[in-house]
Amino acid sequence: MERIVNEVEGDKGKSIQMISPGIDEKSVSYRAGYVNSNDSNTLNGGMLIVSFEGELIKHIELPFVPTYFLTQE
């Protein structure tokens, strides 16, 4: 996960802090919410979707900080 965080930080030029991990067994992926650490005046963040093999599937930036994930069964 550290490699993926460093990759996202380098690509976006932002510092992020992981806060809400989760597993989605249906899509066989790991989900991790984060907060942008660069600006203490705003609370925005995003979500990383990572395969169980450790590859970044998708990076979604959000105008809020995701604190938990709901999955549909």
What six digits make up the tokens of 29?
């992926």
Question: 25-65 pLDDT, tens per residue?
Answer: 888 899 999 999 887 777 899 999 999 999 999 999 999 99
Higher-pLDDT residue of 72, 17 = 17
The answer to whether 67 and 33 are in contact (CB under 8 A) is yes
